[in-house]
Amino acid sequence: MTTFAKGICRYLPALIFLLAMQDRVKADTLLAFGQPDFEWSHAAEGWVKPYHIWLAGDYWAQNFPATPLVSANHMTLTLTIDDNTFSSQQLEVNVLLNQTVIGNLTLSPGMLGTQTYDFSFDPVPGPDYRLEVRAANSVTDGGCVSMAIDGRSFVDLSSDTLLAFSQADFEWSHAGEGYVAYHIWLAGDYWAQNFPAPQLASANHMTLTLTIDDNTFSSQQLEVNVLLNQTVLGSFTLSPGMLGTQRYDFSFDAIPGPDYRLEVRATNSVTDGGCVSMAIDGRSFLKLD
Residue 83 sits in the same domain as residue 7: yes
- What distance in Å separates the CA atoms of residue 164 and residue 209, rounded to the nearest whole number? 9
Using one digit for the tens of pLDDT, what is the confidence trace for 264-286? Answer: 999 999 999 999 999 998 889 99
Residue 88 sits in the same domain as residue 219: no
- What distance in Å separates the CA atoms of residue 282 and residue 278, rounded to the nearest whole number? 11
Residue 131 sits in the same domain as residue 174: no
Residue 175 sits in the same domain as residue 224: yes
Residue 126 sits in the same domain as residue 11: yes
> Greater confidence, 191 or 49?
191
Report how far Cα 183 is from the mean position of its chain's Cα atoms: 25
Give residue 174's domain range: 162-288
Average pLDDT over residues 232-256: 95
Using one digit for the tens of pLDDT, what is the confidence trace for 154-212? Answer: 999 987 777 889 888 999 999 888 887 899 999 999 999 999 866 678 889 999 999 99
Average pLDDT over residues 237-254: 95
Residue 110 sits in the same domain as residue 131: yes
- Write the CB contacts of 203 (distance below 8 Å, at least 6 apart in sequence): 161, 228, 254, 255, 257, 260, 288, 289
Listed residues 128, 159, 190: the one ending a domain: 159
pLDDT exceeds 60 at position 4: no
Residue 146 sits in the same domain as residue 27: yes
Sign of CA dihedral 165, 169, 171, 176: positive
The CATH code of the domain that includes 40 is 2.60.120
Residue 39 sits in the same domain as residue 139: yes
Residue 250 sits in the same domain as residue 183: yes
pTM equals 0.56
- What distance in Å separates the CA atoms of residue 16 and residue 29, rounded to the nearest whole number? 14
CA dihedral (98, 104, 105, 106) in degrees, to 10, reads 120
Residue 81 sits in the same domain as residue 93: yes
**Residue 122, pLDDT score:** 80
Residue 10 sits in the same domain as residue 56: yes
Listed residues 144, 159, 174: the one ending a domain: 159
Residue 68 sits in the same domain as residue 198: no
Our count of domains for the chain comes to 2
